[in-house]
A = this chain, B = another copy of it.
Amino acid sequence: MNNYISENKDRFLNELLDMLRIPSVSADPKFKQDVLRTAEFVKDRLSEAGADKVELCETAGYPIVYGEKIIDPSLPTVLVYGHYDVQPADPYELWNSPPFEPVIKDGKIYARGACDDKGQMYMHVKAFEVMMRNNALPCNVKFMIEGEEEVGSANLATFVKNNKAKLAADVILISDTGMLGNDTPSITTGLRGMSYLEVEVTGPNRDLHSGLYGGAVANPINILCQMIASMHDENNHITIPGFYDNVVELSAEERAEMARAPFSLDKYKKALDLSDIHGEEGYTTMERNSIRPTLDVNGIWGGYIGEGAKTVIPSKAFAKISMRLVPDQTSEEITEKFTKHFESIAPASVKVLVKPHHGGEPVVTPTDSVAYKAASRAYEETFGVKPVPVRSGGSIPIVAMFKSELGLDSVLMGFGLDSDAIHSPNENFGVFNYMKGIETIPLFYKYYAEMSR
């Protein structure tokens, strides 16, 4: 198989670049046609690779690309999940090359979606092609590639509920996470959940002159800042009543185990150009971004933000706020607690509105399963080192949903790196990592099929 992979390397890369040229930003309606074109692209490549029953499954939002190859119903079935939509690319001016004009530089593919998740999702399409062309597919496989992951997978749960038979499988395989490093492969065994809301604070019913009214009416920006500031205490604990009620504290052993993962605080600060880190008292950086819940403002706006100066007290101020959740918090519980708290701390001089965007549940996946062991062996064979189990701070809400709806565990074989800058300007994905994924995935199938016998 490795010969086939090396012979076709350039084509594998060019096909990915072609897909990266389509700006499939699901958050912004103006890219709707591009998102749909991307779905068609994935559908066509799946068919060419040898999948059967390839189709676009309509949803209330963007379609889900489905395809399968059933070689023997008595063999286990792997359900591959990925997404073809990408994050918005702005601020565009911070990109060194246009986000939707992919370039390969210093062994890295630069483009929005290069890693998250077009690059990692497409590794599976190509790995499938490799196994098909070499008559080496050892079990059944199904593909479910959605187009709304970056906006909360609003319609995926319904699709899964309505298609349980079609999606019947033994394990779910996902590459939408990262590794510690190219010399330190790792497998993600935990994900944080999320509660994402938008808040609106209204002061006076119209914008006011800050000279004539300043000091006498509530300025919604100042008030919003006060409300946001009050949601962390001096130790950076979140002050929402009951926020930590359901948080599972890790044992000293588990924390010691985590602390073994290689990590350099100096390198971390240097990479982000930080003079100091910032986070919850009593926890390490690796713990803060994985096993602890957070509250971050992802966007804020209000008043005059153009060039120059305008002396205005705006009528409204807005913020997008997300909270990352850990077991056993639930997005519904936290969304409710946030909303109740936010309304309760609003002074009588303003009106507030809280609009929940989307949520997802935290998850921890087993490390003693056949799937995990098969994945571990696959990495060990291609990287030469046994991969480390790691709990990630990110969220893939659908992992918990797959567990509850389909009763299936997911194995998270990520090949990205922290330096890939996903969700940021200059997102990139190593050619090394892309090819390593295409090489490693067939080995997962091989060992998974063997060990399942």
Please give, as numbers and ranges, the residues of chain B lying within 8 Å of A27 by CB-CB distance: 306-310
B273 touches A349 (CB 8 A): no
Bound Cα distance A229, B225 (Å) = 6
Please give, as numbers and ranges, the residues of chain B lying within 8 Å of A162 by CB-CB distance: none
Bound Cα distance A292, B214 (Å) = 9
Determine if A294 is an interface residue (Cβ-Cβ < 8 Å): yes
B301 touches A425 (CB 8 A): no
**Residue of chain B at shortest CB distance from A198:** B309
Please give, as numbers and ranges, the residues of chain B lying within 8 Å of A26 by CB-CB distance: 308
**Interface 1/0 per residue, A178-203 and B, CB below 8 Å:** 10000000000000101010100001
Determine if A98 is an interface residue (Cβ-Cβ < 8 Å): no
B226 touches A229 (CB 8 A): yes
B300 touches A423 (CB 8 A): no
Interface size class of A (residues with CB under 8 A): 35 or more
Determine if A449 is an interface residue (Cβ-Cβ < 8 Å): no
A324 touches B211 (CB 8 A): yes
Which of B219, B276, B285, B310 interacts with A87 by CB under 8 Å?
B310
Most buried by B among A27, A205, A229, A280: A229
Q: A28-B306, A422-B209 are in contact. Are A312 and B294 (CB under 8 A)?
A: no
**Interface 1/0 per residue, A2-45 and B, CB below 8 Å:** 00000000000000000000000011110000000000000000
Interface positions, chain A 274-329, Cβ under 8 Å from B, are 274-280, 285-286, 288-289, 292-314, 317-320, 322, 324
Q: What distance in Å separates the Cβ of A155 from its nearest Cβ neighbour in chain B?
A: 15
Bound Cα distance A295, B303 (Å) = 14
**Residue of chain B at shortest CB distance from A349:** B278
Bound Cα distance A313, B301 (Å) = 15
Which of B196, B210, B349 interacts with A276 by CB under 8 Å?
B349
Please give, as numbers and ranges, the residues of chain B lying within 8 Å of A279 by CB-CB distance: 215-217
Most buried by B among A222, A313, A422, A426: A222
B276 touches A208 (CB 8 A): no
Please give, as numbers and ranges, the residues of chain B lying within 8 Å of A203 by CB-CB distance: 274
Bound Cα distance A150, B311 (Å) = 9
Determine if A248 is an interface residue (Cβ-Cβ < 8 Å): no
Determine if A267 is an interface residue (Cβ-Cβ < 8 Å): no
Bound Cα distance A288, B212 (Å) = 10
Q: What distance in Å separates the Cβ of A193 from its nearest Cβ neighbour in chain B?
A: 10
Determine if A90 is an interface residue (Cβ-Cβ < 8 Å): yes
Which of B319, B357, B393, B425 interacts with A309 by CB under 8 Å?
B357
Bound Cα distance A304, B150 (Å) = 13
Q: A311-B196, A348-B276 are in contact. Are A393 and B211 (CB under 8 A)?
A: yes
**Interface 1/0 per residue, A131-150 and B, CB below 8 Å:** 00000000000000000001
Bound Cα distance A222, B426 (Å) = 24
B349 touches A215 (CB 8 A): no
Interface positions, chain A 201-252, Cβ under 8 Å from B, are 203-219, 221-226, 228-230, 232
Bound Cα distance A112, B233 (Å) = 44
A299 touches B310 (CB 8 A): yes
Please give, as numbers and ranges, the residues of chain B lying within 8 Å of A366 by CB-CB distance: none
Bound Cα distance A285, B295 (Å) = 36
**Interface 1/0 per residue, A76-120 and B, CB below 8 Å:** 000000000001101100100000000000000000000000000
Q: A225-B300, A288-B215, A289-B216 are in contact. Are A207 and B425 (CB under 8 A)?
A: yes
Determine if A351 is an interface residue (Cβ-Cβ < 8 Å): yes
Q: A294-B214, A347-B278 are in contact. Are A209 and B151 (CB under 8 A)?
A: no
Q: What distance in Å separates the Cβ of A449 from its nearest Cβ neighbour in chain B?
A: 32
Determine if A395 is an interface residue (Cβ-Cβ < 8 Å): yes
Most buried by B among A204, A209, A230, A351: A209
A208 touches B272 (CB 8 A): yes
Given contacts A94-B207, A217-B272, A222-B296, 8 further A-B contacts (CB under 8 A): A151-B309, A206-B272, A207-B425, A208-B424, A215-B296, A217-B277, A221-B297, A278-B349
Query: Can you give 17 contacting A-B residue pairs, CB < 8 Å?
Result: A90-B306, A204-B274, A206-B272, A207-B424, A212-B422, A215-B292, A218-B278, A226-B229, A228-B229, A229-B229, A277-B349, A298-B304, A298-B313, A299-B302, A299-B310, A303-B320, A309-B320
